A = this chain, B = another copy of it.
């Protein structure tokens, strides 16, 4: 039987595996985590609106009935493209086979945040891409209010109540909006010595507007919505330093104890390695350039996709719909080949762009149709519930959101592992 190995259980890898589950192949889905994470909502875990178990779903549970699909908890150590073999590394105590052969390889390793060469910033400025990091952010955010409540010194108290979000893409905008809601709404009556509404929330962006992938009119609307939530939008400004007690923006040192990183991403290191091995070009963000059918030059049996790759003629946005379409495309090519059929090149169908800011506030750009406010927010809700994996998660998240909306609360605001 034709052996397919899919590396990565994110949006791209999961869709590829799902689209191949009924094909005449022997499929191995490899990930270093045992779950698929609905990354567009990790920022809601970071602000106590959702629990980890509501946006993550065990990979084995998805494929439990597909006897031709094997889920493997392991990491890729290296590729041997000539031998059609992966070298694996084990995760924790779980043993992994040393090598894994394939006939077709689909690599969907994703990306991670990059600190622009300042790796020491990562300690003070956690991101919200992984579940663990989102939980770190949650503990820090909530602890900052706790600390402000007991801090007697006015300057130190102000630093505890100053929250800086770096990067005003969708994640940064969503984070800043949620911190605004946390301060002005959820926690409003929770403290006795401080008024959480005094919190300063700064959203720092190097470009001249927020949400640069949206039309300027929607960026302006998003900025206004953010300001209503108490967020100060600082565009055209550069973060030049971050330490335990402050953020430096251009030349200005801003005392702050809580910084959230939502600026540039860099491709998985698997992209660099595949580039090296195939002499494929890589761009500044570490993405490897793939052929129009998402394969690597000289290796039609190796697909790479998602936000670790770019096409020759353009870079697609690093969002879930791109990865999902690419995953399904790669699976279709594999199925076509098994039937001796030719495949057309990959074509991205842009179904639109959504970002939420807060309670009943969002922006949407759907094929030129520009929405903001309640309608955009309703669209955002429906889309996110729809794509959430697992029927149970959909109901749970729906209830969390309904109760939060009705009560202005956030049930999952727990400080753990602190």
Contact (Cβ within 8 A) B414 A52 = yes
Decide: B53 and A143 in contact? CB cutoff 8 A. no
A36-65 contact mask (Cβ, 8 Å, vs B): 1 or 0: 000000000000101111101110110011
Contact A97 B391 (CB under 8 A): no
CB distance from A54 to the nearest CB of B (A): 7
- Chain B residue nearest in CB terms to A407: B392
Q: Which of A311-363 contact B (CB under 8 A)?
A: none
**Interface membership of A35, Cβ < 8 A:** yes
User: With A and B bound together, what is the CA distance between A85 and B111 in angstroms?
Assistant: 53
Known contacts A51-B51, A147-B95, A192-B70; A400 and B392 CB within 8 A of each other:
yes
Q: Are A414 and B53 in contact (CB under 8 A)?
A: yes
Q: How far is the CA of A395 from the CA of B33 in the complex (A)?
A: 29
Tell me the minimal C-beta distance from A67 to chain B in angstroms. Answer: 7
- Check if A96 is an interface residue, CB within 8 A of chain B: yes
Contact call B190/A96, Cβ cutoff below 8 A:
no
Docked Cα-Cα span, A407 to B65, in Å, equals 13
Whether A254 is near chain B, meaning CB under 8 Å from some CB there, is no
Contact A58-B143, Cβ < 8 Å, known A51-B52, A96-B150: no
Is A92 part of the contact surface with B, judged by Cβ < 8 Å? Answer: yes
Asked if B95 and A150 make an inter-chain contact with CB atoms under 8 angstroms apart, the answer reads yes
- Which of A50, A58, A391 is packed against the most chain B CB atoms within 10 Å? A58
Q: Is the CB of A92 within 8 A of B418?
A: yes
Judging by beta carbons under 8 Å apart, are B409 and A399 in contact?
no
Query: What is the bound-complex CA distance between A189 and B66, given in angstroms?
Result: 9
Residue from B54, B96, B147, B418 in contact with A51 in the complex, judged by beta carbons closer than 8 Å: B54
Q: Are B418 and A392 in contact (CB under 8 A)?
A: no
Number of A interface residues in the complex (CB < 8 A): 63
Known pairs A142-B34, A143-B92, A192-B70; A61 contacts B97 (CB<8 A):
no
Q: Provide the residues of chain B in CB contact with A64, threshold 8 Å.
A: 189-190
For A251, the chain B residues whose CB sits under 8 A away are: none
Smallest beta-carbon distance A184→chain B, Å: 14
**B393 near A396: Cβ-Cβ < 8 Å:** no
List of B residues within 8 angstroms of A390 by Cβ: 411
Are B94 and A150 in contact, with the CB atoms below 8 A?
Answer: yes
CB of A164 within 8 Å of the partner chain: no
Contact string, A389-416, partner B, CB cutoff 8 A, digits 1/0? 0111101100110010001010111111
Q: List 13 A-B contacts (CB under 8 A).
A: A34-B415, A35-B414, A53-B53, A61-B409, A70-B192, A71-B190, A73-B150, A92-B143, A92-B418, A95-B152, A392-B407, A392-B411, A417-B417
Beyond contacts A61-B409, A64-B190: 5 other A-B pairs, Cβ-Cβ < 8 A, are A61-B190, A72-B150, A92-B143, A93-B143, A392-B400
- 8 pairs of A and B residues whose beta carbons are closest in the complex: A51-B53, A53-B412, A60-B190, A51-B51, A64-B189, A392-B403, A92-B418, A94-B147
